[in-house]
Structure formats: C-alpha cells, structure tokens
Amino acid sequence: MIKIPSMTAGSKVLLLLSFLLSIGFLYPCHGKLQAQDTCSVELDKKDEKSYLAGVSAFRRGNYVVAVQQMRELVNRYPEMADAYFILGMAYIKRRNSDFNQAENYFRKVMKICPGYDPYIHYYLGEIAYSKENFSATVTHLTEFLKDIDKIKNDEDYNRAVSLLDYSKFYLEMVTNPVPFHPEVVEGISTQENEYLAILSPDNQIAMFTREKKILPDRNSLLTTSGYKEKFMFSIRGFFGEFPEGEEMPEPFNINDNEGGATITADNNTLYYTVCQFNKVSRYLNCDICFSEYRNDEWQKILNAGTRINKPHSWESQPSLSADGTILFFVSDRPGGYGGYDIYKTMRDNGGEWSHPVNLGPLINTIGNEKSPFIHPDGKTLYFSSDGWMGVGGYDIFYTRLQDDGTFRKPDNLGYPINSIEDEVGFFVSTDGTHGFFASNKLKDLGGWDLYSFELYDKARPEKVLFIKGTIKDESSFEPIKARIELENVDTKKIKEVPLDSNTGNYVAVAPFNNDYIMTIKKEGYVYESKYISKVDTIFKKPATVDMEIKPIELAKSYRINDIYFAFNSYELTPESKVVLDQLIEFLELNPAIHIQIQGHTDAIGNDAVNLVLSDNRAKSVYNYLITRKVVTNRLTYKGIGEAMPVATNDTDEGRAKNRRTCFVITRK
C-alpha cells in the first residue's frame, strides 16, 4: 500500500517546501550545458563570472543575490535555460517561497530546452500537487518516470510514484462521483452542535451528543467556552419524525465527556465512551463503559473491564454486533500499526470479553483508524482512516467479512461523500438504504448537524431480516417462556432466537438472502408460526411481529398462518408446504393428538361454490400431510365454506381473516 498523507492545500505547500529544501541542488555550474549542447548559451567572460557568482550565492543560501544575478543574465540571454532553472530553484528555497514564480521559470526552461533535465518535470509535478492540480501532476510525473536511469535516488523515485498514484486515484474519484444528496435530519439537528450519533438497530431511537450552552461549574471540562457536552436520545414519532430529544437520564451525563454510543438489537445493553481528566497525570483518559436496561431504567454504569480498557491508553468509539457478542473499538495502545487502530473482542457465554485482537494490516495502517461501525448484517464494517489513500483528512471506508473470518481490503466510500475535510462518525441504517453522518460544512441549521443520504448499491451492506415483538399466552395475555426458532427455508439451518421471559420480548436478526419461517414452541401449547418472505415489503425494514400461543385444548380451533391459495384454486404453494411442515413436526412431538383440517372462505361469491372450494382446500392440506407420513387415522378434513366467519365480510381486512385454514384437536 502506498500511503499518501491527506492534506489541505496549505499543508501540501509546507510539505513540498520541506521536501525540496531537503534534496540536493542539481544543475550545471558553468556556462555551457554538458548534456544538451543544443541548449547551450555562449557567455562572455564578464557574464560567465556573474553566472558563477550567482551559483556561489545560491549555494551559500543567499537567494536574493542569486535571483538578482540570474535576472540580469536572462535579460541579456533570454534563451539561457541554466539561469531560468536556478531562478526556479531559488524561488522555492527562499524564505518567502513563491511556487508560482518557480513554476513560470521551470516552464521557461522546458520551452527553451524540452530535454533539459527530467527533474524539471519532477519539480513541476510537486508544485502541481501542492496546488491540487492533479492532472498536471500526472502529466509531469509520468514524464519524469519515463527514464528511470536518470533518477538520482530511490527517495525521489518513490516520492514520484506515490504522488502519481495518488493523483490518478484522486482524478478517478472526482471524475466518477458517487450519488450523494444529503439532507439534514430535522428535529435532532438544531442551532447547537450535534454529533457522535447512532441509530438503534430497530431504527427507533437516535442517540447523539449535543453541545449545550450552560453555566458550568469551575471544575467542568468544557468542550468550547461556555458549552458542555450532553449525551442525548430521541425516539422516532408515529410519522417517522425525530423530536429534538432530551438528555439521557441518570446514571448518564454525570461526566462532562461521554457519548459515542452503540446498543444491542434489543435496546437493552448500551456501550459508550466515558472520558475523565486525571488531575495528577494531567491526562484525559477515555474508557469504554456499559449499562443495562432493566426494570424500566438504566442500571449503574460499569467499566467494560481491564481486557478492553488499559490505564495508559485511550479506548473509545465502540460498535456492537447486533447480537451483542462482538465489540469493535478504537485504541492507541502499544503494539498497533499506527496511532489509533481498530480492535475486536468477543463475548463468551458467561459474559466475559476476550483479549482484544487488532484487525491487522488489511484494516489498520501507519496512520489512524477511527469510528468503526459494524452493520447489523454482521459482515460490513465502515470506518474512517487517514492512512488509506483518500481525498481528505479522514475518509470513510467500508470492508466486508470473508468466509475465512478476515476482512477484505477496504474500499473508499467515494467522492463527494468524502471531501477534503474529515469524515468521521458514519453509520448505516439497518435496512442498508441510508447513510448518516455529522458535518459542519453544509451549513443548514448551524454548527454540526446530523445528515442522511441514500447510499448507493455497491456500498450497501447485505440485506438484513430484523424482527422484534412480544410473545404472550393467548388466554392470560402474559409474557411466556417459550422457544423461538428461525429456520432458513433453503438451507434448513435453524437459529434459536433469545426471548426475555420477563417481558416476552424478542429480537431476531439474520441475513436476508432467503425466506425464513419463525416458529414458537412450548410444551403443552400448540405451535405458532410466521412465514417470512424476502420479497415481502413489510420485512424490508425492521418489522414488529407480536404473536400469541394457545394451550392444547380439545375441540379448539387453531389457525394455520400463511396458508395461501391462488384465486379459485386449491393447489398448495411451496411456501404453504413449508408452513405445513411445522404442523407435521407438532404432530410428531404430540403423537396422541388427532386433528380435523378445516377450510374457510369469505362470503364473496356463491355459498355452494365456496363450500366446495373450502372442502377441496382442506383436502389438499390433508393429502400433503398424508404424503409426509402422517398416519391417516389421526386426520380428517372438512370444508366449512363461509359459515363460520371470525370477522366482518364488509372489509378487506375482515374477509382476509375469514379466508383461513385451521385445524381442530379431536383427540389428545
């Protein structure tokens, strides 16, 4: 990897100056060019003496005299390339460097003598780079590198290759911009500064830092004069809007510097950064801490532990995987690749974090890496870096986890998302469609505000299924302890979904490249299932699915969810067969149970026709169960038609409820 410092135009000029001052000065020291006789100029003895005096002055660092001597010479010898060359170098090396003048004189040399010296292109390439004229940089440095034998040392060669590669990279970026139409996130963004924002995985809670103008006490650590950082939260409203937000309650906001949060998918465990000033060491140290939400309140804030936090290093900017088992964070601890590196730690079943592992040289550089964000897909990592080739100070990059457990080489998120400024604190919505960042350069409401934009396809994470809800007992409406299984329809892999037995709440997160069926199981209860299709628009964003399970009771009717037939058809769809497989498993686990399959219709159409149709549909279910080795004496079927509605037939919603397939327990 070629590491090019990301710089403003001013810093490029300073770097160029220090570099050119450090290299030797190469030019002929007499009046006749040795290498290019066609460019030589014959001087009389007096002017040759003046020329040598100017050369001597240049070597002593007396650039004023050198410039004076060479100007007099070019006035008398307008084709004297040597004098123009020395003038160009003098304007670079003098106290008040003038790169424009130097460029003019070097161009004069090229015009007089195109083959004068390849280093003319080297210097012009450096000057063009300092002005961010990357097209000219490419032109000159390409010419310089044509004849490697004439390059004096490896340092010049490596420098030229680095600047050439960066310039080509920059031109490629700006000539192929990515879509970027940022809009301020209203409500959260105010006249005050808002930054270090994050959205909860369910997209319902925004957490961020706001600088609030307050009267601080004398011991407060102020971010800017008269302002203090506050850790804030805002809950999305019914129409999707975010209000201005309010301060996180105690135990938060006790310290003056805390924020940069990350939260688990169930919104119950929050990790964030707490910075405290040590009055003895005079050192502002940051650690990663956490709190859990129980009994309707946040619990005491605890340090994440000595494996994550070190006494003499800075740990901050945590990012949790959706299931809360992997934590990414930033640290400047010894043993890294640069200043700040990104580390990863994993939590075991006992809740202990492993010793952090550096993400390695495919992610971390000799520069700094910050603001990691692991998307709920568990594979796509976004972060900021000033070590990878970029268009500004800190650019945003993204990488994906490979099958071998390592991350691939990161990609730059692109221009103009990345600019000459620093881009940090980037994150992506769970549905992968929008990126979010804080900026003070767009000047919408004042200072730093939060912005969002539609993220282009290539940079989006993998599709994620995110479902949350509550599981309750149908009769008591109380939370119930049960087993939730999420089965991939194609691979048949089953994932158990954690369920909070105290609240009945669950959250399921999984890659969404296939359909799933989610099943609730509990001994003594009839199973409940939900078919989840990847083409169903409901599940393209975080969705809420509340479910109730019913005890096994004789003569009670139980609806089989998601059994669908085409209009006026009784042929089972492939999806319906997947759903019926859950019924088969239930019957296998409860061998004493006998059932009757019942088909129901709405009241649209002829009653007799509906009765026949419902009977045929019930028979289709019956036949499928028989083909799957369910014993026939445990099964019967019956068409009910429109005779037993469970809702009104006057609305689409009511008719949909009436069109159903059920089973009644006839023996247990």
Question: How do residues 16-70 score in pLDDT, each as one tens digit?
Answer: 545 454 444 444 433 333 344 557 889 999 999 999 999 999 999 999 999 999 9
Rounded Cα–Cα distance for residues 629 and 19 (Å): 82
Task: Specify whether 332 is located in the same domain as 296.
Answer: yes
Tokens of 429: 């919505």
Q: Quick check: 388 pLDDT over 60?
A: yes
Residue type at 666? T
Q: In which domain, by residue range, is 16 found?
A: 9-175
Check which CATH number belongs to the domain holding 40 and give it.
1.25.40.10
Domain final residue, candidates 494, 526, 551: 551
Domain final residue, candidates 438, 459, 480: 459
How confident is the model at residue 453, as a pLDDT? 98
Long-range contacts of 77-83 (CB under 8 A, 24+ apart): 77/41, 77/43, 77/47, 79/41, 79/112, 80/41, 80/112, 81/33, 81/36, 81/39, 81/41, 81/108, 81/109, 81/112, 81/113, 81/116, 82/27, 82/28, 82/31, 82/33, 82/41, 82/51, 83/51, 83/54
Residue 528 domain flag? yes
Task: Specify whether 537 is located in the same domain as 600.
Answer: no
Residue 94 domain flag? yes
The DSSP line for 423-440 is ----EE-TTSSEEEEEES
φ/ψ of 326, rounded to 5, equals: -125, 130
How confident is the model at residue 279, as a pLDDT? 64
* Strand, helix or coil for residue 341: strand
* Strand, helix or coil for residue 148: helix
> What's this model's pTM, rounded to 2 decimal places?
0.86
Alpha carbon distances (Å) from 663 to 138, 579, 597, 622, 667: 75, 13, 4, 10, 12
Domain final residue, candidates 518, 551, 584: 551
Residue 244 domain flag? no
Please give the mean pLDDT across all residues of the chain: 90
How confident is the model at residue 566, as a pLDDT? 75
Task: Specify whether 487 is located in the same domain as 371.
Answer: no
Using 50, 70 and 90 to split pLDDT, how confident is the model at 311? confident
Task: Specify whether 90 is located in the same domain as 18.
Answer: yes
Task: Specify whether 666 is located in the same domain as 618.
Answer: yes
Task: Specify whether 224 is located in the same domain as 363.
Answer: yes
* pLDDT digits 0-9 by tens, 594-653: 999 999 988 888 999 999 999 999 999 999 999 999 999 999 999 999 999 999 999 988
Task: Specify whether 292 is located in the same domain as 412.
Answer: yes
How confident is the model at residue 245, as a pLDDT? 95
The closest alpha carbon to 528, from 553, 507, 550, belongs to: 550
* pLDDT digits 0-9 by tens, 62-106: 999 999 999 999 999 999 999 999 999 999 998 888 999 999 999
Task: Specify whether 111 is located in the same domain as 202.
Answer: no
Task: Specify whether 412 is located in the same domain as 541.
Answer: no
Number of domains in the chain: 4
Residue 243 domain flag? no
Check which CATH number belongs to the domain holding 429 and give it.
2.115.10.20
Tokens of 277: 């000033």
φ/ψ of 483, rounded to 5, equals: -105, 130
Residue 345 domain flag? yes
Residue type at 593? I
Report yes or no: 412 and 388 within 8 Å, Cβ to Cβ. yes
Rounded Cα–Cα distance for residues 585 and 450 (Å): 50
Q: Quick check: 459 pLDDT over 60?
A: yes
How confident is the model at residue 26, as a pLDDT? 43
Residue 193 domain flag? yes
Q: Quick check: 8 pLDDT over 50?
A: no
Task: Specify whether 120 is located in the same domain as 20.
Answer: yes
Task: Specify whether 152 is located in the same domain as 261.
Answer: no
Residue 3 domain flag? no
Rounded Cα–Cα distance for residues 509 and 292 (Å): 20
Task: Specify whether 268 is located in the same domain as 391.
Answer: yes
How confident is the model at residue 556, as a pLDDT? 94
Rounded Cα–Cα distance for residues 148 and 162 (Å): 15
* pLDDT digits 0-9 by tens, 548-599: 999 999 999 999 999 987 778 899 999 999 999 999 999 999 999 999 999 9
How confident is the model at residue 370, as a pLDDT? 96
Residue 663 domain flag? yes
Rounded Cα–Cα distance for residues 661 and 605 (Å): 18
Q: What share of the chain is helix, strand, coil (3-state, %, to 5)?
A: 25, 30, 45
Percentage of residues in the chain having pLDDT higher than 70: 92
How confident is the model at residue 441, as a pLDDT? 83
